[in-house]
Amino acid sequence: MADADVLVVGGGPAGSSVAYALARAGIEVHIVDRARFPRPKPCAEYLSPEASRILDAMGALAPVEQSGAAALAGIHVRAPNGAVIAGDFVAAHGFKGFRDRGLSVRREVLDQILLDRARAAGARVTEGVRITDVLRDDTNRVCGVATLVDGKPAEIRARLVVAADGLRSVVAKRLGLARALRWPRRLALVTHYANVGDVGEHGEMHVERDGYVGIADVGNGQTTVALVVPASRAREIGGDRAAFLDRWLASRPHLAPRFARAERVSPVIATGPFASHTRRAWAPGVALVGDAADFFDPFTGEGIYSALRGGEMLAASAQHALSARTARDADHALARYDAARRAEFRGKWIVERVIGAVVGSVPLINRAARSLSARKDLADLLIGVTGDFVPAAEVIRLGYLWRVFGPAQQGSGSGV
């Protein structure tokens, strides 16, 4: 007998999003998470203007804004040659997001608000649950999970399992769905500071020859700092994460003065390697969502929006799977979710991979920055794509790419 209609493994944005929508529809939902909330989570902590639409639908937007979250007008990207791509969310291209600004907020705050919204909708939440394996029935369908709670083994059964347990999803690994990509292999160090100099209303990405760092106001006088470097430096980082980060920042002449009086206010947390992919985001009796289904690289800050939107999409298909008359029909409903997810995110995945290649090549990022610093219309389009309200097709068509990587252009222009 099932303990719930749907078991959601993971209480982050993806899990809370799908749980909220299902619980609102009258479906019995049980969320389990290894952590106890609020909990720290290494993340760029960026929510795109379009992410606010889903927060609003969940009744979470007002609490997030009232928590002191910072509003972001756009993104600035500095290349190794010093050229800056300055893109704004409000621009002349004619595309408009749900909000004119993005948001930046600590994950301890965001995740607790989202989990509380799922709980208020009727979802049951159990914290401190470690998933050790998946359970299968006589037909080899997933029917629940094996767990450890306070060191004691237990089983939780459900008609449908949702794997929202992140980049190193236990569920995805046990089912053989996840695989690590060979490129790019990067690690991140994430922390927060007070008193960082010259932090404005734009998120910042500083690309260097040996990695990149993201810097953004997260409200309440704090700044998030996320340094991403090749995974080959793991041993060096492991000696002392904080010291490695301090040395890296101090060695950059354009950043060192800004951190001279900064005070670190949270531990330095390491995460990665990144670049994980699943061959499909479902198996009989289970669906994957958020980072458990796909994560490429943190540069574009796609994680939170993709998690929220993926949860929203999965909820609709999950309802069809639960009401299906046969197991085959339930599988078809989950397969349709996977197809819809790929159709929705395919363009963004292409953009992420192009950006990943550009950021990993000093000549390419320098060339792109020279072009985009002189063509704000093109910069605004790119930042709008990362803001999830400009279609990805606007920046992956040949005309746009030629203007960025072709012969040097003069003037700012207006078309693409």
pLDDT single digits (tens) 324-375: 999 999 999 999 999 999 999 999 999 999 999 999 999 999 999 999 999 9
* Band of residue 34 on the pLDDT scale cut at 50, 70, 90: very high
What letter does residue 298 receive in the DSSP assignment?
G
Tokens of 362: 């000093």
In sequence order, the 6+-apart residues with CB closer than 8 A to the CB of 108 are 38, 39, 40, 41
Res 409: pLDDT: 52
Instruction: Verify cis geometry, omega within 30 degrees of 0, for the bond prior to 49.
Output: no
Res 379: pLDDT: 97
d(CA 213, CA 221): 19
* Band of residue 295 on the pLDDT scale cut at 50, 70, 90: confident
Domains annotated for the chain, with CATH where assigned, are 4-69+105-181+275-352 (3.50.50.60), 186-271 (3.30.9.100)
Whether residue 162 contacts residue 321, with contact meaning beta carbons closer than 8 Å, is answered with no
What letter does residue 17 receive in the DSSP assignment?
H
Q: What are phi and psi of 203, to 5 degrees?
A: -70, 150
Where b means 16+ CB within 10 Å and e means fewer, 294-326 reads bbbbbbbbbbbbbbbbbbbbbbbbbbebbeeee
Which tens digits make up the pLDDT trace of 373-412?
999 999 999 999 999 999 999 999 999 999 999 876 544 4
Res 290: pLDDT: 94
Give alpha helix (H) positions in 34-183: 51-57, 61-66, 107-121, 170-174
Q: Specify the higher pLDDT residue, 416 or 74.
A: 74
Assess whether pLDDT exceeds 90 at residue 147.
yes
Tracing tokens 């490129």 back to the chain, one arrives at 183
Res 406: pLDDT: 86
Among residues of the chain, what percentage have pLDDT more than 90?
84
Assess whether pLDDT exceeds 70 at residue 52.
yes
Q: Average pLDDT of the chain?
A: 93
Whether residue 246 contacts residue 260, with contact meaning beta carbons closer than 8 Å, is answered with no
Which tens digits make up the pLDDT trace of 109-130?
999 999 999 999 999 999 999 9
pTM equals 0.94
Q: What is the mean pLDDT of residues 166-175?
A: 92
Q: Quickly count: other Cβ atoms within 10 Å of residue 68's Cβ.
A: 14
Tokens of 214: 């993201």
